[in-house]
């Protein structure tokens, strides 16, 4: 009697049916690990149609005459006149398109198996769309001359201070108080730029994910029982002025600073200070059969704007931490 052999050749031939019969097939499809955060960090508006630009109107005020304070008495009757200078800025709007391509044979096979490939491709389409919006909001497109939240030339940037020994700017080499001072220096500079308006002090700071993790993992002191992040959130100048400050990880901050150092971004996360428009949401355009490729092509399109930094002084950068 010949011995029963279980080898690769046997599985690939006469016993191949066992591979399908004796497997547990899970319904979930494991998609690529990825993330996008533009909708968290950027206020946005929907609607407007297939336009080429989004416009924003600005007003500047001045008084004419020699009596700039407007005080009138027996010594002077010069009454100043308020004047307004109106201007308009234009933000580019980009058309975006992707096609879903499903071959006839794939469709036929999936019908036989009682499944569809389209939901998988739809997930890929959504991911591609959101990745494009992430890039538009954070860094812009160099090919089209646009920038974003972490690299705008309109925003002032400065390095964080060195530690007490003047040997390093990195947080790993600083005390808890020195790190808090870096945060407060950034917030104070931004607050000063908006003329100390409490309503316009920064309510969000984006920083590199590893630095966020460092703040979460490090205690205030050996005797302390709270994280450095909690300590900073409770003791920063923005919180003391009534802002609900959020400190969040942002991968686009990695290497965005001077000399490829990490960058902190303090800003007012509010649509009247920073804006983004999706003038046409992701829309299914048309489906056609391509005889040459023996496939169905479905077009999807959308329109979105570049990031609009309405008030550059409401944003501030700090590098090198």
Contact 308, 314 (CB under 8 A): no
Read off the CATH number of the domain in which 314 is found: 3.90.1690
The structure's pTM equals 0.86
At residue 19, the pLDDT reads: 59
Q: What is the DSSP string of 238-286?
A: HHHTT---EEEE-GGGTT-SGGG--EEEEE--STTTEE-EESEEEEEEE
Mean pLDDT, residues 56-73: 82
Q: What is the CA radius of gyration of the chain?
A: 29
* Inside any domain, residue 223: yes
* Inside any domain, residue 123: yes
pLDDT (tens digit, 9 = 90+) per residue, 238-296? 999 999 999 999 999 999 999 999 999 999 999 999 999 999 999 999 999 888 888 88
- pLDDT higher than 90, residue 73: no
pLDDT (tens digit, 9 = 90+) per residue, 93-126? 999 999 999 888 877 777 776 777 888 889 999 9
At residue 16, the pLDDT reads: 58
Check residue 162 and report its DSSP letter.
P
* Inside any domain, residue 74: no
d(CA 289, CA 159): 57
* Inside any domain, residue 213: yes
Name the pairing type of β-strands 308-309 and 274-275: antiparallel
Range of the domain at 296: 33-54+93-321
Backbone angles phi and psi of 262, in degrees to 5:
-75, 150
CA nearest 304: which of 35, 44, 128?
A: 44
- pLDDT higher than 70, residue 8: no
* CA distances in angstroms from 126 to 153, 155, 157, 281, 287, listed in the order given: 30, 31, 34, 11, 18
* Inside any domain, residue 26: no
- pLDDT higher than 80, residue 321: yes
* Inside any domain, residue 300: yes
Split into its structural domains, the chain has a count of: 1
What is the average pLDDT score of the chain?
Answer: 90
* Inside any domain, residue 160: yes
* Inside any domain, residue 18: no
Neighbours of 171 (CB within 10 A): 23
**Strand arrangement, sheet containing 157-159:** 157-159, 315-319, 263-267, 204-207, 246-249
């Amino acid at each position: 009697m010949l011995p029963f052999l279980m080898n690769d050749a046997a599985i690939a031939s006469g016993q191949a049916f066992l591979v399908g019969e004796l497997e547990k097939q899970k319904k979930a499809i494991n998609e690529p690990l990825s993330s996008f955060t533009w909708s968290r960090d950027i206020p946005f508006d929907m609607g407007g149609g297939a336009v080429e630009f989004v416009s924003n109107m600005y007003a500047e005020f001045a008084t004419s005459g020699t009596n700039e304070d407007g005080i009138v008495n027996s010594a002077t009757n010069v009454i100043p006149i308020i004047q307004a200078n109106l201007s308009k800025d234009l933000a580019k709007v980009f058309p975006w398109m992707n096609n879903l391509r499903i071959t006839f044979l794939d469709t036929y096979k999936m019908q036989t198996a009682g499944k569809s490939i389209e939901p998988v491709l739809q997930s890929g389409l959504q991911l591609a769309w959101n990745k494009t919006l992430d890039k538009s909001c954070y860094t812009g497109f160099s090919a089209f001359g646009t920038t974003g939240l972490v690299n705008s030339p309109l925003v002032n940037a400065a390095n964080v201070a060195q530690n007490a020994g003047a040997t390093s700017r990195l947080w790993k080499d600083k005390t808890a108080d020195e790190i808090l001072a870096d945060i407060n220096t950034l917030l104070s500079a931004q607050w000063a730029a908006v003329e100390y308006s409490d309503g316009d002090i920064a309510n969000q700071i984006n920083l590199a994910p590893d630095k966020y993790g460092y703040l979460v993992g490090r205690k205030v002191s050996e005797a302390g029982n709270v994280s450095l992040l909690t300590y900073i959130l409770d003791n920063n100048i923005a919180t003391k002025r009534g802002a609900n400050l959020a400190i969040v990880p942002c991968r686009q901050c990695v290497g965005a600073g001077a000399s490829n150092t990490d960058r902190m971004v303090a800003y007012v996360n509010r649509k009247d200070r920073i804006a983004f428009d999706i003038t046409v949401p992701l829309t299914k355009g048309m489906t056609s059969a391509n005889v040459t490729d023996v496939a169905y092509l479905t077009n999807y399109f959308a329109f979105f704007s570049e990031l609009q930094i309405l008030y550059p002084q409401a944003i501030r950068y700090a590098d090198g931490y």
